[in-house]
Structure 1
Amino acid sequence: MKNTFTLLVVCILCQVLGAQNYTAQIQEFDTYASKSMATWQMPGMALAIVKDGKVIFKKGYGVTQIGTKKTVDTQTIFSCASTTKAMTATCMAMLVDEGEVSWDDPVIKYLPEFHLYDPYVTRELKIRDLFTHNSGVGNADFLWTIMNISSEEVLRKMQGVEPSYSLRSSFIYQNIFYLAAGKVIEKVSGQKWEDFIKARVFKPLGMNRTFPTLISSKDLNHSQPHYRVNGTIKSIIPDTADQIGPAGSVRSCIDDMCKWVTCMLDSSKYAGGRLLKPATWEELFRPQVIVPADEFYPTMQIIKPNWTTYGLGWFQHDYKGKKINYHTGSLAGEIAIHAQLPEAKLGFYFFGNFDHAELRHALVYKTFDLFALGGTRDWSAEFLTLYQGIQAKNEKAEADFEAKRMANTTPSKPLAEYTGTYYNSLYGEAEVVLDGNKLVINLNNYLKATLSHWHYDTFRGGYEKDWYGKATASFQLNASGKIEKLSYEGMEFTRPN
């Protein structure tokens, strides 16, 4: 009896001392996060750390919108962006558990209308392939970023996207196959993806401030995205990923994401049970494909992992001999990251409202160092130097491009002859109108830019959404001397005679 009492006292003391020991790390982390946020000029962010099944730290920093006093708190809504992918993979895994679908079923079994450019790939594409970015189809985000079409039309247009490599032979990050996965979930479950994820993930976990789409997340306590335009950080219009919802449209707050992080660390367990069978949960994190170095984040130039893989909705690599699972999320002016160090039962989630501020990566490794692996490297400073170098290279490339402009040239034709509507079956239509001595190009009545003459038959200017940067358009004459083709940001359009 005495030994039992002594053991109980020791256990309680260990728990208390453990909590006290974290106090120093938390204080150090909080100070580091605040300092680094100022260095990266981040307007606002929210983050959380989960250790051994408990939320040991969560906090909001800064403001929801620059120029205001609206502070970020743990209830502020941000974009989860592509960290949504792990949620969609979990939804599919539930249907696998129920025997409704198999990872290796052909996609056309459920979506017979979904056709790709190569009939062989259409026939051989498996459910698993929808999650692993190795279908052979390259980035096709233009299908939802330059036109306002339905999700069904996005999938229909995929038949016109030529492959970049053969099936399962490489890796190119691909959003639209997650949309296809969402459609499979709908077909099998009889529910819209939005309703399925709410009923099967958000509700069981008590994620009451988590929304499947932008349009469903109207809330006063909502962060605004920010972008650096011409050297100045400004608030911009929120972008939407609702067209490809299963790939990146979920929006949430850090309080709710604590519940998701905790669940995903602990084999999908939650207070009321578990989302997945243990073996199915393990399958989500099993390396599925090797990711080439040039398809990984620039931060890996400093981390220097020995291997890089992708699971089902998760990037993976080694760090100090341990396996890391993580995924970033990025929309214009909004960022997120979800990272796990499973062996230490340590998880991290981050929201930010400034475009591609890679402070998110720095805080991941700072978390792993402080709360598990040890180390004192200033990841924020190292990553900032890295990205400043990348920015300098980009600025030099832009300057080099501008330097190639030929002076004292004129267009081949009067400006009015460049106007009209140009078509492409894949990219849609580009309407060109004259505005004074400038050409305005309206792409699919969705994305507009105003261009001045640059040289010869090339025009260049800014987008209406100025954070998109500059656009370049070149026109081509046919044998009769009439303007026939438009090359616009790598897309080719033809004007009918």
Structure 2
Amino acid sequence: MLRELGDFDGFMEKLISDWNVPGIGVSIAKDDEVVLSKGYGYRDHASKLPYTAATWFPIASNTKLFTAVAAGLLVDRGLLSFDRPIREFVPSLRFYDKALDEAVTLRDMLSHRTGVPRHDMIWYEARLSLAELFERIRFMKPTAPLRSKFIYNNMMYEAVGHIIELLSGKRWDHFVRDEILTPLGMTDTAFTIADMLTRAEPAVPFLEKRDSDELWQPPYMDADESSPAGSIVATMDDMSRWLLMLMNKGRVAGKQVIPERILKATLAPGVAVPDAMNEVLGFTPELNGIYGMGRQTASYRGHLLASHGGDLRAFHSQVSYLPNEKIGVNVFVIGDHCAILRNAVGYEIYDRLLGLPPTDWTQRLFDFTRRARNSLREARQRVVPNPVPNTCPSHDLAGYVGRYEHPAYGPLTISLENNQLQLAFRQTCLPLNHFHYDRFDTPDDEVDGAWSVLFQTSSLGDIDRAVLWLDQAEAIFKRTPDTVPQSVIDKITGTYVTAIGIKAAVRLNREQKLTLRFPNGPTEVLVPFKDLQFRSYLSPETTFEFVMDGDRVKALRHWDAIAEFVLTRSEDDDTIDTMEEDEAADD
């Protein structure tokens, strides 16, 4: 086997030099043994620490097959079904509409065929629990009919991870550890980058700078986050054990560890995978890709290939094997600029071991990546900002400051430092510069990229929304009101009387929201605006203001563009207890 590889070490050393690779790990398995497990370059380029078979590495989306197998174990126990509607087993799961609620299956979720787009910004560096991500599935609007096309979706795997916890009583990571890793003897596998950093040989992220070949070290991503879609970390040696199990249909050292029927189910055709590489490169090593659950199959030069990739910033992995020939390859690459080597090195190995006519995949892909890199560099150099001239913000900068909230994407904070607005979203903190009108842009950051925020005003003229472009669509963040101190609430709750004697009640409802209610009228939630002024979603053009006389409230004013009314504070609060409460509109 090693003889067929030829001077593979020489080949890899040339790749390290030509591609400026910080470090790369490769393992090769044949039948039931590992024939090579080795590192090239450095696991830590700055400290010149060598990459070895014991280097820990984030395998990213190669985590998905672990999650699919874990779900399959629950199917095997009768707690789930691959092909019955998932809500038969988990009624609390809600999709965007009733049609999806009634039809989506576990197989749909694991095969990326729900018709729901990625919405990666819901989970990306959000530091949300699986339960919180599970609740956000209902905000994800489909863009294609169910089962009509392949749309990669990490959020569905996050939801399946929570389903595993709901049905098994164990957290996803504990279930995978107890039911998969421990039986397989995978003792050098864990679930977070934070776990990895406690081990002796963690891989360290390095990238080429955008406009040069200089390598630099970006921060790790989501160090504490455990994700069923992509957080597993492992050594090359441990992943070789995983590969042997897959190649041998669930058996390790002669023992059936994972039921063969579960692994067979994950390979069953689910949905056709677009041939994106051919569309971009003009050639393709793999034909007729079909995604199953957590992995895909394709034809590689006439040989059946099962594989899956994984990509995080600076870390790229490929786990693949030829089922008929029982040859498998793991490739782990440090560096975005050389990420495609995770595929190309595997192709080279298969060509050599199968005795196929050589194809210089690495050179073809090197030429393409360099052209693409130079094209992007030139595009950035050509760009000229084109704002509408002679415009200014509609408000003083302080008017934009506040916390804004989106039901799926969470909070966005705008602050003011040294007379410049600052954006804080997840782990991204960047200055905002005025572009034109109420649009502000950040610089194009090496790690976080460029962001643009468009602020919008209410009908009363205050800034009440911030719009970001996320997941190929506009995301509207609504400004959240300040919290009203309890001391203020105690003063303003009570009964107020109009000039013609009609009484109105201001009080807290069951959700502890401040409300205003006239007899026989709807209950309005009063939303804090500024000082003692409030707004109402039922009356968006009306402003309510409590008028103080010393240390007590003497009146309630409310006005719009047509008229202003004044209600006098009454000392008789009996009406508060006798008025019936209805459902208040608070959004």
Q: 1:274 aligns with which of 252, 256, 264?
A: 256
* Map of 1:142 onto structure 2: 121
Q: Which has the bigger relative contact order, CA under 8 A and spacing at least 6? A: 1
Taking structure 1 as reference, are residues 298 and 314 closer, same or farther at Cα in structure 2, changes over 3 Å only? Answer: farther
TM-score, with length taken from structure 2: 0.75
* Aligned 8 A contact 2:57 2:203 in 1: yes
SS at match of 2:49: coil
- The aligned runs of 1:254-265 (5 Å cut-off) are 254-265=236-247
Counterpart of 1:324, as a letter, is L
Taking structure 1 as reference, are residues 297 and 126 closer, same or farther at Cα in structure 2, changes over 3 Å only? Answer: farther
Counterpart of 2:327, as a letter, is L
Q: 2:468 aligns with which of 488, 494, 497?
A: 488
Whole-angstrom distance in 1 between the partners of 2:285 and 2:392: 50
Query: 1:448 and 2:412 equivalent?
Result: no
Q: 1:39 aligns with which of 18, 32, 36?
A: 18
- The aligned runs of 1:56-205 (5 Å cut-off) are 56-205=35-184
SS at match of 1:78: strand
Query: 1:385 and 2:367 equivalent?
Result: yes
* Aligned 8 A contact 1:336 1:350 in 2: yes
SS at match of 1:371: helix
* Aligned 8 A contact 1:291 1:308 in 2: yes
Whole-angstrom distance in 1 between the partners of 2:95 and 2:382: 38
* Aligned 8 A contact 1:29 1:366 in 2: no
Taking structure 1 as reference, are residues 291 and 342 closer, same or farther at Cα in structure 2, changes over 3 Å only? Answer: same
| Deviations 1:395-418, CA, capped at 9 Å, x for gaps | 455456544345665434433332
Taking structure 1 as reference, are residues 298 and 371 closer, same or farther at Cα in structure 2, changes over 3 Å only? Answer: farther
Taking structure 1 as reference, are residues 120 and 361 closer, same or farther at Cα in structure 2, changes over 3 Å only? Answer: same
* Aligned 8 A contact 1:475 1:483 in 2: yes
Counterpart of 1:473, as a letter, is V
* Map of 1:323 onto structure 2: 304
Q: Residue 32 of structure 1: CA displacement? A: 1.5
Whole-angstrom distance in 2 between the partners of 1:419 and 1:98: 53
* Aligned 8 A contact 2:69 2:262 in 1: no
Q: Residue 127 of structure 1: CA displacement? A: 1.5
* Map of 1:427 onto structure 2: 409
Q: Identity percentage over the alignment?
A: 28
Q: Residue 275 of structure 1: CA displacement? A: 2.8
| Deviations 1:349-394, CA, capped at 9 Å, x for gaps | 1112212621111101111111115132221111122223333444
- The aligned runs of 1:276-315 (5 Å cut-off) are 276-294=258-276, 301-303=282-284, 305-315=286-296
Shifted more, 149-158 versus 468-477: the winner is: 468-477
Taking structure 1 as reference, are residues 459 and 374 closer, same or farther at Cα in structure 2, changes over 3 Å only? Answer: same
* Aligned 8 A contact 2:113 2:150 in 1: yes
Whole-angstrom distance in 2 between the partners of 1:299 and 1:370: 26
Give the structure with the higher percent helix.
Answer: 1
SS at match of 1:145: coil
Q: Residue 206 of structure 1: CA displacement? A: 1.8
Shifted more, 75-84 versus 337-346: the winner is: 337-346
Whole-angstrom distance in 2 between the partners of 1:467 and 1:54: 40
Whole-angstrom distance in 2 between the partners of 1:131 and 1:301: 29
* Aligned 8 A contact 1:437 1:452 in 2: no
* Aligned 8 A contact 1:40 1:359 in 2: no
Query: 1:366 and 2:345 equivalent?
Result: no
Q: Residue 242 of structure 1: CA displacement? A: 6.1
Whole-angstrom distance in 2 between the partners of 1:408 and 1:341: 63
Cα root mean square deviation, aligned:
2.5
Shifted more, 215-224 versus 342-351: the winner is: 215-224
* Map of 2:321 onto structure 1: 340
| Deviations 1:250-302, CA, capped at 9 Å, x for gaps | 100101111111110111110151233334322221221112334x6877742
Q: Residue 477 of structure 1: CA displacement? A: 4.2
SS at match of 1:223: coil
Whole-angstrom distance in 2 between the partners of 1:449 and 1:298: 36
* Map of 1:353 onto structure 2: 334
Structure 1 gaps, min length 5: 1-18
* Aligned 8 A contact 1:225 1:355 in 2: no
* Map of 1:26 onto structure 2: 5
| Deviations 1:65-119, CA, capped at 9 Å, x for gaps | 2221221111110001100111221222233334443212322233221101112
* Map of 1:474 onto structure 2: 454
* Map of 1:414 onto structure 2: 396
| Deviations 1:448-473, CA, capped at 9 Å, x for gaps | 2212223443322248x741222222
Taking structure 1 as reference, are residues 26 and 437 closer, same or farther at Cα in structure 2, changes over 3 Å only? Answer: farther
Give the number of aligned pairs: 473
Whole-angstrom distance in 1 between the partners of 2:17 and 2:323: 30
Counterpart of 2:134, as a letter, is L
Query: 1:224 and 2:179 equivalent?
Result: no
* Aligned 8 A contact 1:116 1:160 in 2: yes
SS at match of 1:172: coil
SS at match of 2:215: strand
Whole-angstrom distance in 2 between the partners of 1:88 and 1:40: 33
* Map of 1:9 onto structure 2: none
SS at match of 1:64: strand
Whole-angstrom distance in 2 between the partners of 1:298 and 1:239: 30
Taking structure 1 as reference, are residues 370 and 62 closer, same or farther at Cα in structure 2, changes over 3 Å only? Answer: same
Taking structure 1 as reference, are residues 122 and 394 closer, same or farther at Cα in structure 2, changes over 3 Å only? Answer: farther
SS at match of 1:352: strand
SS at match of 2:132: helix
Whole-angstrom distance in 2 between the partners of 1:375 and 1:473: 53
* Aligned 8 A contact 2:80 2:89 in 1: no
Q: Which has the larger radius of gyration?
A: 2
Whole-angstrom distance in 2 between the partners of 1:63 and 1:306: 34
| Deviations 1:313-358, CA, capped at 9 Å, x for gaps | 1122212122221111111221111111222211111112212621
* Aligned 8 A contact 1:335 1:352 in 2: yes
Counterpart of 1:268, as a letter, is G
| Deviations 1:106-139, CA, capped at 9 Å, x for gaps | 2223322110111221221112112100112111
* Aligned 8 A contact 1:59 1:74 in 2: yes
* Map of 1:438 onto structure 2: 420
